[in-house]
């Protein structure tokens, strides 16, 4: 009888622990932070294909976005897909790209993270774009690997409701573990 009581007590504790763990995981993934993987080279060399990142979601919305933040968002043309790009144009900004250089409100944007892989090829809309004003409820997003990035130059603005969170940690592969910081302007 004691063995059965011990087993039932152990089984109850195990089930409670599993239920609590699943509940906590659900709450964390839904509201606090979530893991994502990088499927393309549009953010190279800062984020490589197959890198894994964690995005902070709690209280992160349009009001918290700073220019230069790396953001996970639902792709405007297919919200089932998550994209990872850098916030370039904030609400109300005028964005213009001239000869591969980004101008925000008429001023050249300093972008030390940008890579241009094919300096010989120049073409619209990738290298010459705008000027265009970012709507008050949206962002203009671009990849760091500008010559190989499918971004706002091609499919438009990211509405505020599509923001999932800010990428803050690269955790895989282990030799590339680091905090992901935006750029101070």
Catalytic residue among 44, 85, 138, 152: 85
Neighbours of 101 (CB within 10 A): 13
Q: What structural domains does the chain harbor? A: 2-179 (2.10.109.10)
What is the predicted pLDDT for the residue at 124?
61
pLDDT at residue 185 in the model: 45
pLDDT, average across residues 142-158: 93
Does 181 or 63 have the greater pLDDT score? 63
Nearest Cα residue to 48 out of 115, 112, 111: 115
Q: How confident is the model at residue 87 (pLDDT cuts 50, 70, 90)?
A: very high
Q: Tell me: the pLDDT tens digits for 130-141? A: 899 999 999 999
CA distances from 56 to 72, 108, 144, 162 (A): 9, 29, 20, 14
Residue 149 annotated as catalytic: no
User: Is the distance from CB of 29 to CB of 164 less than 8 angstroms?
Assistant: no
CA gap 7, 78 in Å, rounded: 50
pLDDT value for 130 = 87
Answer yes or no: 101 catalytic: no
23-54: pLDDT as tens digits: 666 666 566 678 898 999 999 989 999 999 99
44 vs 40: CA distance, rounded Å: 9
Q: Could you say which of 6, 12, 35, 42 is catalytic?
A: 42
């Amino acid at each position: 009888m004691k063995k059965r009581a011990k087993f039932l007590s152990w089984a109850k504790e195990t089930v409670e622990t599993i239920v609590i763990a699943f509940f906590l995981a659900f709450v964390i993934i839904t509201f606090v932070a979530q893991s994502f993987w990088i499927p393309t080279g549009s953010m190279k060399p800062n984020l490589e294909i197959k890198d894994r990142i964690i995005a902070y979601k709690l209280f992160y919305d349009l009001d918290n976005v700073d220019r230069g933040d790396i953001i996970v968002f639902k792709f405007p043309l297919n919200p089932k897909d998550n994209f990872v790009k850098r916030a370039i144009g904030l609400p109300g900004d005028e964005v213009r790209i001239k000869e591969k250089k980004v101008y925000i409100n008429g001023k050249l944007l300093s972008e030390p993270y940008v890579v241009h892989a094919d300096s010989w090829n120049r073409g619209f809309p990738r290298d010459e774009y705008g000027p265009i004003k970012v709507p008050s409820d949206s962002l203009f997003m671009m990849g760091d690997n500008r010559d190989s990035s499918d971004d706002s130059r091609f499919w438009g603005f990211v509405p505020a409701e599509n923001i999932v969170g800010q990428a803050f940690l690269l955790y895989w592969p282990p030799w590339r573990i680091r905090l992901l910081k935006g750029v101070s302007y």
